[in-house]
Structure 1
Amino acid sequence: MTNVHPGQRVAMLADAQNLYHTARSLYTRNIDYSSLLEEGVRGRTLTRAIAYVIRANAEDEESFFEALVDIGFEAKTKEIKTFGDGSKKADWDVGMSLDAVSLANHVDTIVLCTGDGDFSRLCRHLKHEGCRVEVMAFKESTAEELIEAADEFVDMSAQQETFLL
């Protein structure tokens, strides 16, 4: 927790699909987004919190999106794409990366909530631009290169009672 001070401006970008699937497969539980935001900000100044979600037309989906907004997240949604062969795809990697690069000039720290190793190059770029990068995810499902690329890694598995409902 070095280089953390109250005046720091923080943006949190949460890959909701990555967090959801990891929490369900490892612990059969859901993410506590309120605690995620609080622990990620740690008393600093929150500039923006964005949760990237996939619309799958699930039963409680709309109430989940509303809950995210009530907590303080901006919910960015994307429809799941179904291809001719029946396969489905939806991810926010490019959208999250573009938002991070756009926000980097307006914040001191970007907190990425994902274990996806594809974001390690983004971490290195943000750091090169002078932005501190923190990653919050479950260590068991976080790419080693992402942990190494970040200034700080918060292992959510080590604090299950904080981060899981």
Structure 2
Amino acid sequence: MPPLHGSQRVAVLADSQNLYHSSHSLYSRNIDYTALLDAAVSERELVRAIAYVIRADSPNEEEFFEAIEDIGFEPKIKDIKTFADGSKKGDWDVGISLDAVTLGEHVDVVALCSGDGDFSRLCSHLRHQGVRVEVFAFGHAASEDLLDAADSFVDMAEEQDRFLL
């Protein structure tokens, strides 16, 4: 990874659903959002940190929303959708992409905290615009297309004690 510069402006975008499902399916543990934010900013200038979350009426989720805000993330909350057949869906892919493109005009680096391969085209677009893209995810749960499209990748699985509670 090339050296990081203190003058770089960084936006941190955390796909909380992706991180939650990855950390729970692989390790049955929660993400340490303080460590994630510290690693993503890495002594550079933080412009904005957003955590994209889904409200699913599960226990303790309001406390989680407050906790990530106390850490320094702006929570963007969307209600889960339940369809007539009983299936449920909740994701922020379009919202994350729109925010990344908009913020890309004001930052040098987008730290994308997700392993979702749907963001590989977003990475390519941002890089074409001159924005550095750093992906933070668990290697076993991260899309190869996404990793190939990013400038750098931090495998959170290699530092479980740092990134997991």
TM-score normalised by structure 2 residue count: 0.99
Please give the alpha-carbon distance, in whole angstroms, between the structure 1 residues aligned to 2:2 and 2:48.
Answer: 22
Structure 1: 5+ residue runs without aligned partners?
none
Give matches, 1:10-29, under 5 Å: 10-29=10-29
Please give the alpha-carbon distance, in whole angstroms, between the structure 1 residues aligned to 2:98 and 2:130.
Answer: 16
Task: Classify the secondary structure of the residue corresponding to 1:51.
Answer: strand
Residue 76, structure 1, aligned to residue 76, structure 2: yes
Residue equivalent to 1:109: 109
Task: Classify the secondary structure of the residue corresponding to 2:5.
Answer: coil
Give matches, 1:81-92, under 5 Å: 81-92=81-92
Q: Root-mean-square deviation (CA), in Å?
A: 0.6
Q: Deviations over 1:13-63 (max 9, x none)?
A: 000000001101100100000000000111000000000000011110111
Please give the alpha-carbon distance, in whole angstroms, between the structure 2 residues aligned to 1:24 and 1:145.
Answer: 22
Residue 126, structure 1, aligned to residue 123, structure 2: no
Shift of 1:106: 0.3
Shift of 1:3: 4.2
Task: Classify the secondary structure of the residue corresponding to 1:11.
Answer: strand
1:45 aligned partner, one-letter code? E
Residue equivalent to 1:8: 8
Structure 1 segments, 4+ long, off by >3 Å, are none
Structure 2: 5+ residue runs without aligned partners?
none
Percent identity of equivalent pairs: 64
Please give the alpha-carbon distance, in whole angstroms, between the structure 1 residues aligned to 2:134 and 2:92.
Answer: 18
Residue equivalent to 1:152: 152
Task: Classify the secondary structure of the residue corresponding to 2:91.
Answer: coil
Please give the alpha-carbon distance, in whole angstroms, between the structure 1 residues aligned to 2:141 and 2:28.
Answer: 15
Please give the alpha-carbon distance, in whole angstroms, between the structure 1 residues aligned to 2:58 and 2:64.
Answer: 10
1:46 aligned partner, one-letter code? L
Shift of 1:4: 1.2
Please give the alpha-carbon distance, in whole angstroms, between the structure 1 residues aligned to 2:164 and 2:90.
Answer: 24
